[in-house]
Amino acid sequence: MQGFLTASAAKLPRSPLYTAIRAGWVCSSCKRHGASRLPALSSYQRSFSSSPARTTAAAPKPYYVTTPIFYVNAAPHVGHLYSMVMADVFKRWEVLKGRQAYLCTGTDEHGMKVQRAAELQEVPPKIFCDSNAETFMDLAQKVNMSNDYFVRTTDPDHREAVEFFWGRLRERGYIYESKHEGWYCVSDEAFYPENMVEKRVDSMTGKPFIASIETGNEVEWTEERNYHFRMTDLKDRLLQFYKENPQWVVPATRMADVVSWVQNNLEDLSVSRPASRLSWGIPVPDDPSQTIYVWVDALINYITKAGYPMWTPGSENALGWPADVHIIGKDIVRFHCVYWPALLLALDLPLPKRILSHGHWLMNSRKMSKSIGNVVNPFFAIDRWGVDTMRYFMIYNGGVSQDSDYDNSFIVDRYKKGLQGGLGGLLNRVTRSKAWNFRSIIEQAHGQVLKPADWKLQHMQAEITELRRATECLSQNTADFFENELNPGRALKEIMEVVFQANRLLQHTEPWNLVKQGEVEAAHQIIYHAAESCRIAGILLQPFMPEKSGRLLDRLGVDQGQRTFDHARFGSDSTYGVSTVPLGEGAQSSLFPPIPAEN
């Protein structure tokens, strides 16, 4: 993570990067070592002493996933938590499959909302940002997010990238100065055309106001002279890209909304604000009277941590760009799916491969709001329910195409049915019984050909065969949901269905009674199939619940080197069966103990 800056001034000295547009430039590291001026910015590469190890030009592109960078004008809520967890699950999934993967999250710290919020607290904007950015860092750590980067838009390297990006846009003729008139929303940091606003009445005060139809937030008429980006010049290229990549935005309904917006509402984008009105931001290079629009500034974060603009020819994707997936909330689709690709197309830079836009979290079917008092503090939720319980609940119940309701009773229900009774119950049944030796069953049953016709109880054949088929298909089905549908929620439900199916097999066949009846071979085959389902589910659950799934595999006795995606195959491991941790006795020592009763 980048350390906090101590300066509180809104505008730092200009970076040398901007001058690289017109002449060669030497980075600060090279200056310290006496390097000579380089001929062109694209011909050298930056040194990232604190970044993950670089790959060579011949190495495959690392997987790169991002969250939106979170606005620091307010404290984190469960929507931020959801984005963090979802992005982390995607990264961990790729690592499980053996691929190098990077995850970037961070904070968006410039703009009118932050400036006004700092003024209300009577503190300098930078001090305000330092405090709130640290809270988001704490949340990322608390939720066990495996992020490689935490970008702050007040970071020097980000400012340098923004200045250089702006200079290239201007060099290519995409930036021009003009008078701008329109409806501006401070809350959304966006201008809206006339057909996107309407008159409304405040339900609390009865006061009329003009609001964005899209968000419901108040807008104000603004007239100012600023810089514009020729986005309309890119209309045809955008539409062609959407046509060639119809699944670029998930879900499909929002892809359709994006196409409609570009076809019907696309305008040149105002990309600066007068410094007299907005001083907290990155100044326009060569024109300190203007401040770069916060959304242009913010979107560039995704390539900042991917090394832009210090890309060596042939190794531009060494740190992951283009992103394999941007995780965003549905309220910022237009910025990421219209503005961002247009900016990248203008500089002929690769576009992100896909964008996953998820729904919001509601309370009692109402949008969470401080004024209503129904905002959930994610720190309190994690402290109360546990980090992996919250990760499991948010992915299982969270919506992509639809919004989702948050309620403590829903968390309790998921915990009891899915974790305590489902996964935990299955683990206890196969490992804790005194009716058999678990390790001996794995040794004896592994590799044996199932011959249910030889058993006296042939009616078990269908259930065992069905569970085996489901378990054998589980890893591929899970991968399809991740990689084709970008739907980790469906992947999690697929894994848990096999867990539930294994439990049903045990409940119907009662292998503990079969042992008493002398049907030992039948009982051992049933336990082996249930154990394989549990082992494979445990491996595939590692991206979702890193701590709990690790402990589950410890209890099964699965070796650390046998926990990869390649080992999530039926019969691939014959070495497990001896727990490396105490199994304990009773409900309280279970992997998922009962929830303590409320006082």
CA pseudo-torsion sign 323, 329, 333, 336: negative
Minimum mean pLDDT range among 9-23, 97-111, 370-384, 564-578: 9-23
How many Cα atoms occupy the beta-carbon half-sphere of 451 within 13 Å?
5
Cα dihedral 299, 302, 307, 312 in deg (nearest 10): -80
Angle between helices 546-556 and 424-431 (to 10 degrees): 10
DSSP helix/strand/coil, 320? coil
Both structure tokens of 114: 């932050």
DSSP calls for 382-406: HHHH-HHHHHHHHHHH--SSS-EE-
Most distant pair of Cα atoms in the chain: their distance: 89
Query: What does the pLDDT look like over 318-366, one tens digit per residue?
Result: 999 999 999 999 999 999 999 999 999 999 999 999 999 999 999 888 8
The DSSP bridge partners found for residue 209 are: 200
Structural domains present in the chain: 1-173+277-321 (3.40.50.620), 418-589 (1.10.730.10)
Residue 54 contacts residue 318 (beta carbons within 8 Å): yes
Both structure tokens of 471: 């378990």
Query: What does the pLDDT look like over 425-441, one tens digit per residue?
Result: 999 999 999 999 999 99
Minimum mean pLDDT range among 215-224, 458-467, 547-556: 215-224
Characterize the bridge pairing of strands 208-212 and 190-192: unpaired
Query: What is the distance between the alpha carbons of residues 356 and 336, in angstroms, rounded to a whole number?
Result: 10
pTM above 0.75, yes or no: yes
DSSP helix/strand/coil, 522? helix
The DSSP bridge partners found for residue 273 are: 291
Query: What does the pLDDT look like over 137-185, one tens digit per residue?
Result: 999 999 999 999 999 999 999 999 999 999 999 999 999 998 767 777 7
Both structure tokens of 435: 């009716």
The DSSP H or E segment spanning 176 is strand 175-185
State how far the alpha carbon of 340 is from the alpha carbons of 110, 180, 472, in Å. Answer: 17, 21, 41
Residue 300 contacts residue 162 (beta carbons within 8 Å): yes
Query: What does the pLDDT look like over 236-248, one tens digit per residue?
Result: 999 999 999 999 9
Minimum mean pLDDT range among 115-129, 177-191, 513-527: 177-191
Residue 182 contacts residue 220 (beta carbons within 8 Å): no
Question: What confidence score (pLDDT) does residue 2 get?
Answer: 34
Q: Which residue has the higher pLDDT, 470 or 461?
A: 470
Q: What percent of the chain has pLDDT over 90?
A: 72
How many Cα atoms occupy the beta-carbon half-sphere of 128 within 13 Å?
25
Q: Which residues contact 203 (CB under 8 A, 6 or more apart)?
A: none
CA–centroid distance for 283 within its chain? 30
Minimum mean pLDDT range among 27-31, 149-153, 448-452, 594-598: 27-31
Both structure tokens of 130: 């330092």
> Can you tell me the mean pLDDT for 416-432?
97
Both structure tokens of 69: 């960078």
Both structure tokens of 401: 């195409």
Banded pLDDT at 28 (limits 50, 70, 90) = very low
Residue carrying the six token digits 């949008």? 367
Residue among 560, 563, 553, 554 at smallest CA distance from 581: 554
Q: In this structure, what are the phi and psi dihedrals at residue 208, rounded to the nearest 5 degrees?
A: -75, 150
Query: What is the distance between the alpha carbons of residues 91 and 66, in angstroms, rounded to a whole number?
Result: 9
Question: What confidence score (pLDDT) does residue 51 get?
Answer: 40
Query: What is the distance between the alpha carbons of residues 521 and 524, in angstroms, rounded to a whole number?
Result: 5
Banded pLDDT at 599 (limits 50, 70, 90) = very low
CA–centroid distance for 337 within its chain? 16
Banded pLDDT at 93 (limits 50, 70, 90) = very high
Q: Which residues contact 124 (CB under 8 A, 6 or more apart)?
A: 8, 9, 118
Characterize the bridge pairing of strands 272-274 and 208-212: unpaired
The DSSP H or E segment spanning 85 is helix 78-96
Number of residues that make up the chain: 599
**Beta carbons within 10 angstroms of residue 546's beta carbon:** 18
The DSSP H or E segment spanning 366 is strand 366-367
CA–centroid distance for 554 within its chain? 27
Helices of type H across 97-234: 112-121, 125-142, 156-171
**Beta carbons within 10 angstroms of residue 262's beta carbon:** 23
CA–centroid distance for 272 within its chain? 29
DSSP designation for 218? B
CA pseudo-torsion sign 247, 252, 254, 257: positive
